[in-house]
Chain A
Amino acid sequence: MEEDRALILLARAGDERAFSLLVERHWERLVAVARSVVGDADAEDEAQESLVTAWRKLPRLREPDAFRAWLLRILLRRCLRRARRRWVLLPLPFAAGVADAGALEGSGFVAVERTLRALPPRQRAVMHLTVLEGMSDGEIGEALSIAAASVRSHRRRAREALRRFLSRSTNEGGAS
Chain B
Amino acid sequence: MRRPEDGAGGSSFEDRWRRFAYRPARRPAAEAAARAVAASRGAPAPRAIPWVFAAAGALLIAGAALTVRLGIRPGGGPAPAAAVASASISSGTVLLWLDEETPLYMTFQPPEDSGASGGER
Contact = CB atoms under 8 A, between A and B. Distances in A.
A144 interface: no
A28 B24 contact: yes
23 contacts: A19-B33, A23-B33, A23-B36, A27-B33, A31-B25, A44-B26, A44-B27, A52-B36, A55-B36, A107-B20, A108-B19, A109-B16, A112-B17, A112-B20, A113-B20, A127-B8, A134-B2, A159-B7, A159-B8, A159-B9, A162-B8, A162-B13, A166-B9
B1 A134 contact: yes
B21 interface: yes
B39 A52 contact: yes
Q: Mostly helix, strand, loop or mixed at chain A's interface?
A: helix
B30 interface: yes
A57 B32 CA distance: 17
A157 interface: no
B81 interface: no
A115 B33 contact: no
A47 interface: yes
Contact of B40 (A32, A35, A56): A56
Contacts of B26: 44
A48 B86 CA distance: 71
B26 to A, nearest CB: 6
Given A128-B21, A162-B8, 18 more contacts: A16-B33, A16-B37, A20-B33, A23-B30, A27-B29, A35-B20, A51-B33, A51-B36, A52-B39, A55-B37, A107-B19, A108-B16, A108-B20, A111-B16, A113-B20, A130-B6, A136-B1, A165-B9
A28 B29 CA distance: 8
